[in-house]
Amino acid sequence: MVINSDPVGFLMEAYLSTALEECYKGKNGQTIDELTHRVFFTSRDNQHQTPNVPSNNNMLNDKKFVYELPNKNKRTAAQLAATHQGYWDEFVRTSSSDAQIKHSFSYEFNNPMIEKLQLDAFYDKNPAVKNDKGGYEYEEWMAYLMHTIWLTESNTLSRWFEWYLTIRTYTTLKPTNTKKASVYPVEIKVPVCDDCIMTVTHSG
């Protein structure tokens, strides 16, 4: 699994090394031909209980428990135009080094999506405020993601995956005790080259 984050949002990729035999692997290593995927934010940790079971209190039509994310390529016009964005996708890895990877999924959402879930009281509006060892203050809260896979023909749950994410938002930055830094430009001379392209790399 790979998770990337930046000031705009989050991208998570999951790789499965086990083929999904019950759906005949689909075409080109994809599962979309025999399976239906549904991906959700969940409001709490499902603790690996079978989803959509009334006694487990984790029904997938319960808006207090789930917020469904659409497939990247099947978003409506309203979803495409929204400020808050969250979606999933399935893709094929073609590199020879990826021979053991049978299926790949990505999950992407931006900061406005997280803010929407907080404003909607799906997630805590007032997360815990903490300080790290360097004296930096941050808010910390949990997000939960569930990917369910269904046999299309029978609409039967085949399997599901669960993740939880610990998200920290730094609210204040305190100065450190390091001295002020100075940067001085240095000219790097290279041979004249009238008819070629040259790349100069330096570090320092």
Cα dist. 63→22, 54, 68, 101, 202 in Å?
Answer: 30, 14, 9, 34, 54
Instruction: Identify the pLDDT of residue 141.
Output: 82
Instruction: Identify the pLDDT of residue 28.
Output: 37
Are 13 and 104 in contact by the 8 Å Cβ rule? The answer is yes
For residues 37-49, average pLDDT: 93
Most confident of the ranges 36-45, 86-95, 128-137? 36-45
For residues 144-155, average pLDDT: 86
Is a pLDDT exceeding 60 seen at residue 2?
Answer: no
For residues 136-159, average pLDDT: 85
Are 170 and 136 in contact by the 8 Å Cβ rule? The answer is yes
For residues 28-52, average pLDDT: 80
> Where is pLDDT greater, at 198 or 173?
173
Q: Where are the domains of the chain?
A: 2-172
Distance separating alpha carbons of residues 202 and 155, to the nearest angstrom: 58
Which tokens is 69 given?
A: 């994310």
Is a pLDDT exceeding 70 seen at residue 111?
Answer: yes
Most confident of the ranges 63-77, 113-127, 151-165? 63-77
Q: What percent of the chain has pLDDT over 90?
A: 32
Is a pLDDT exceeding 70 seen at residue 187?
Answer: no
Q: Can you spell out the DSSP letters for the chain? A: -EEEE-SSEEEEEEEE-S--GGGTT-STT--TTTEEEEEEEESS--TTPPSS-GGGT--TT-TTTEEEEPBGGG--HHHHH-SS-EEEEEE----GGGTT--EEEEEEEEHHHHHHHHHTTSS-SSPEEEE-TTS-EEEEEEEEEEEEEEETTTTEEEEEEEEEEEEEEEEE----SPPPP------------SSS--------
Is a pLDDT exceeding 60 seen at residue 6?
Answer: no
Segment among 38-42, 121-125, 189-193 with least mean pLDDT? 189-193
Are 122 and 67 in contact by the 8 Å Cβ rule? The answer is yes
For residues 101-128, average pLDDT: 86
pLDDT digits (tens, 9 = 90+) for 56-68: 999 999 999 999 9
What string of H, E and C letters represents the secondary structure of 56-82?
Answer: HCCCCCCCCCEEEECEHHHCCHHHHHC
